[in-house]
Amino acid sequence: MRSHLLVFLSIAPSVASADGDSRPATSDDELRRYVAEAEEAGETIEVDGAAPVDTPSSGVRVVTARELELTPHKNTDDLLRVVPGLYMSQHGSEGKGQQFFLRGFDAVHGSDLAIRVAGIPINEMSNVHGQGYADIGFVIPEVVAGLTSRKGPFDLEQGWFGTAGSIDLELGVSRRGPSVSYELGSTNRHRIAIVEAPEKGPDAEFIAADVMHDDGFGVNRGTERGSVMAQTELRAGRLRIRPLVSAYWARFGEPGVIAIDDIRDGFFDRMGAPAGTLGGRSRRMLAGVGANYKHGDDEVLTSAYLGWRGLSLDENFTGFLESEEFGDARSQEHRAVTTGARVAWRHRLSPSLRLLTGVELQNDELHQLEDRISTTGAVWRNERALDATVSSAGLWTGLEAKRGAFTATGGARIDAMMVDANDRLDPMRSGDGMVGTVSPRLAVAWRNERFTMSAAAGRGQRPPEARAFTSRVSRENMDTKVYDGGEAEITSADSVELGGEARGSKFSAGVTGFATRVDRESIFDHVSGVNALQDGSRRFGVEVAVQAMPLPWLALRGDLTAVDARFNVSGNPVPGAPRLLGSIEARIDHKPWSAGIAGRFLGARPLTHGAMAAASSVVDAVGNWTHGRWELSMQIDNLLGTDWNEGEFHFASRWDPAAPRTEIPRVHISPGRPFGVRAGATVRF
């Protein structure tokens, strides 16, 4: 007789037995004995959610698929909002990559937040729209089996872009069998999702597809997209192999951002589109395979992947500030072929000591264009035509020690990249080079059934853009080493944290203090469309998180993060870095009913040129009713109907070409979602 035993992974794992009771796994030895007894009895143990966490950092959270189901979301991007202290902004429409804020970092589109899907890195090297651009719109929400978030650069396996933290998404479907879903929204949203998960197959096996059309909540905020994903799992003894293929396309509007002055003067409506009918297209094809092998004291995890990426984007942030004849719109094209592989080896040296080592390789072939275009779409100035080969390698080695209530991991990474950049506009400006860095990391924790105390220190790194290896023309009479991307050097972020957590039977609370020193800041300038290099900065912050489960069917969670981020030399605040972030969640899971409500708060934050962005907050909700083969759902955006700004920026603009030209910056906003409703139905066969 086959019994399925679920191991729910969290910071303190528990083992659920066949008769339904659960008990904490107080040590690896106890868990191994339990597994051995189950195997002798002919039982099968399945793991639900993400892989076990090795780094004993207080900034780690594992989220199950069921928690994600009860999180209000329109797409997979929204699922990341379950990460405490992470705020996301969409200053465009749904097809464009999100802007991330975490631990006092304005990570823009992913420059300081590393994201992996099924072990495959998603951050894009030297994307024309921003270093580390991470777009997970291709992931179908129904096949996300869980995620693991790690704040800070304390895990040995965190590579490029993990300066503020990293997120790993696992793919799988726990509800087996075919299903069809249809969603209808108040913004003329139509979405169809089809999932085939064979009844007798493992959770990792599925074929899924979705197609969506949405007019959006304002002018030129419409989106159309389609995605197909397929994954299976093959087992041969102790070897498990998971092949994955995916294809994705999206078309979306790019309305631009609106100056508050223009809204007040009636020049634009709050939901208007200063940029007119500009927009973009996003495409991706991805194939990968992951393998896991366990035998005796050894565990080997490997992955390899091949992907093609295309991004086309026309945008205008400043109107007619530079050219009153043609306008300031820019057109960006990015094509890339990425190949990579990764091997992690974990070898137990003794009952309390394990060796952690591995290597990862990646190669990117990039082709990108950037032009200034007129209001009719004609090119009036070429700004970039770059081909580049970016090859990178990472090597890590360290130890994991566990004895009683004490756990520690420590070691170091070596990361290096080699770039060959060919400037097609002027071959004489082409260049190449190589950079590298060493990142030491250490994390320790003491844990018993009621309390946990932890400390960690580590270095994260952000790689330079490929164009930093070329000789560039100075802009605004400024040195290109300061302006237009900076020097070809790796940006390092040294971080420390100290945390503690107290747990009861129905309640837990934790607090973590952290500090980060960044050797140099890179601030995106919307007027020039390039990154301005600044001096180093430091961040001091504290996070508070509470969780409660007062009833078996009710779960509550809340968190608050306060950060002070300032430049080392001037002491001025770092633009874009949020000073205060908070979120609250409530989940009800009482069959046939389930529901979730989530509120997010972003405090006032400094902008460039001394301005401040206003605080904003929003509350979303989701409800489900399940009966037999049917499931009905309703999701509500902005439940309280508040006027809030998803993004704010400070720069000069001129949308009336007849108006006098001025360099005085103004505050611009990207409006947040208004009240909206989406209703859905799913039938399972």
- The kind and range of the H/E element at 425 are none
Which single residue is written with the structure tokens 């070409």?
657
Task: Note whether 18 and 75 are same-domain residues.
Answer: no
Do 39 and 174 sit in the same domain of this protein? Answer: no
Is 509 in the same domain as 637? yes
Residue 658 has what pLDDT?
Answer: 86
Q: Can you give the CATH number for the domain in which 443 is found?
A: 2.40.170.20
326 lies in some domain? no
Distance CA 119, CA 392 (A): 17
Position 472 scores a pLDDT of 63
Domain assignment present for 449: yes
Residue 89 belongs to a domain: yes
Hey, is 260 helix, strand or coil? helix
Assign 483 to helix, strand or coil: coil
Asked if 41 and 120 sit in the same domain, the reply is no
Residues in the chain: 685
Whole domain around residue 154: which residue ranges? 49-316+337-653+665-684
Indicate whether 260 and 380 sit together in one domain: yes
Q: pLDDT at position 87, please?
A: 87
State whether 223 and 360 are in the same domain: yes
Low-confidence ranges of the chain (pLDDT < 70): 1-54, 472-486, 523-534
pTM for the structure as a whole: 0.89
Residue that terminates a domain, selected from 48, 65, 83: 48
Domain count, the chain: 2
User: Can you give the pLDDT at residue 57?
Assistant: 78
DSSP string, 40-84: HTT-EEEEESSPPP-S--TTEEEEEHHHHHTS--SSHHHHGGGST
Neighbour-count burial of 199, counting CB atoms closer than 10 A to its CB (0-12 exposed, 13-18 middle, 19+ buried): exposed
pLDDT at 529: 54
Q: Which of 355, 384, 363, 359 is nearest to 372 (CA)?
A: 384
Q: Is 324 part of any domain?
A: no
Dist CA 212 CA 222 (whole Å):
11
Q: Does one domain contain both 218 and 348? A: yes
**Pair 1, 108 in one domain:** no
**What is the per-residue pLDDT for 61?**
87
Q: Are residues 377 and 521 in the same domain?
A: yes
pLDDT at 29 (0 to 100): 42
Among residues 10, 27, 48, which one ends one of the domains?
A: 48
Going from the C-alpha of 183 to that of each of 159, 375, 543, the distances in angstroms are 38, 36, 37
Q: Is residue 637 one of the residues assigned to a domain?
A: yes
What is the pLDDT at residue 527?
Answer: 55
68 plus 171 within the same structural domain:
yes
Is 451 found in the same domain as 482?
A: yes
Flag whether 325 is in a domain: no
CA-based torsion, 492, 430, 108, 545: positive or negative:
negative
Domain assignment present for 332: no
Residue 46 pairs in a beta bridge with 6
Name the residue type at position 170: E
pLDDT of residue 534: 67
d(CA 362, CA 504): 45
CA atoms within 13 Å, Cβ hemisphere of 122: 24
pLDDT for res 49: 36
Looking at the domain assignment, is residue 545 inside a domain?
yes
**Contact by Cβ (8 Å): 484, 528:** yes
Same domain membership, residue 490 and residue 547: yes
